[in-house]
Amino acid sequence: MSKAIVIGASSGIGLEVARLLIQRGWTVGVAARRVDLLNTIGAADVEMIDVTSANADSSLMALVERMGGMDLFFYASGIGKQNRELAADIELATLQTNGVGFTRMVGAAYRYFAQQGRGHIACITSIAGTKGLGPSPAYSATKAMQNVYLQALEQQAHARGLDIRITDIRPGFVDTALLAGDFHYPMMLKPQTVTREIIYAIEHKKHIRVIDWKYRILTALWRRVPRSIWRRIKL
C-alpha cells in the first residue's frame, strides 16, 4: 500500500498520523474543515471537507481522483463534549458529526474499495463506546454505533469476498484539543504515543486496537460490570 487519505488531519491524532505516514514514505492526501491548517503538513494534496456536509463524499472522491487512487482511508474526524445537562444542541451536533458524518464518509470509502477490489479502512472510535457514559450520552452512544458499524462492514466484506481490511482504533483519553477545558481527565495519553500504536495496528492489520494497555484492562473490567451496578456509578 502506498496512497493514504486522512480525514480530520488539521489537528490532534489525525495530524500526527498524517505526518508519520508521510515520514514512512506514504503518499498522503489530507482533508478537514480548517483547510488553512493542512498546508503545513507536507501532504501530496489537500481538500476542504466538512463531514456534516451533504456533498462531503463527493469531495472525498475528488481528492481520491487527484491522488490517482487510495489504498488506506484513515478517519479521525469527530466531536465530543460532556453534557451533564443534556443540552439538545450538543447532543444533536454530536449525532450529526459522529453518526451521520461518519457513516457518509466511511460508506463512501467502503464503496470505493469494493469497486477497486481491495483497500484498508482505519477509524478512530473510542473506548467510550464500551458502555453508556452519563456525562457524555450522545458521544458514548455514537462511538458504540461506530464500533458496531465497522464490525458489520467487516462481516459484509467477508461475505462478499472483498479484500477490505477494517481497523477499529479505540484510544482512551488523549491530550488533544478535543479534551481541552477545565475538567481533568485521568490516564491522559500523549498523541505521539497513540500515533505509534495506530501505525502498528494499521501495518499489522489489527481488527480492533484499544490504546493503550491500561485502557485494555479498564475496558475489559467495564464489560463485566452488570447494568444494575453500572447505572449507580457516578462518573
Where in the chain are the domains? Answer: 3-230
Are 170 and 87 spatial neighbours (Cβ–Cβ below 8 Å)?
no
Mean pLDDT of 168-183: 68
Assigned C-alpha cell, 119: 483497500
Peptide bond into 175 cis (omega under 30): no
CATH class in words for 3-230: alpha beta
Mean pLDDT of 186-193: 76
What is the spatial distance between Cα 167 and Cα 51, in angstroms, rounded to a whole number? 20
Place 212 in a pLDDT band, splitting at 50, 70 and 90.
confident
> What Å distances lie between residue 163 and 37, 61, 154, CA to CA?
34, 20, 10
* pTM of the entire predicted model: 0.93
What is the spatial distance between Cα 51 and Cα 150, in angstroms, rounded to a whole number? 17
pLDDT in tens, 59-111: 999 999 999 999 999 999 999 888 999 999 999 999 999 999 999 999 999 99
The mean predicted confidence, pLDDT, of the chain is: 92
Place 38 in a pLDDT band, splitting at 50, 70 and 90.
very high
The three-state DSSP-derived secondary structure of 65-124 is HHHCCCCEEEECCCCCCCCCCCCHHHHHHHHHHHHHHHHHHHHHHHHHHHHHCEEEEEEE
What is the spatial distance between Cα 207 and Cα 165, in angstroms, rounded to a whole number? 8
- pLDDT value for 18: 96
Place 11 in a pLDDT band, splitting at 50, 70 and 90.
confident
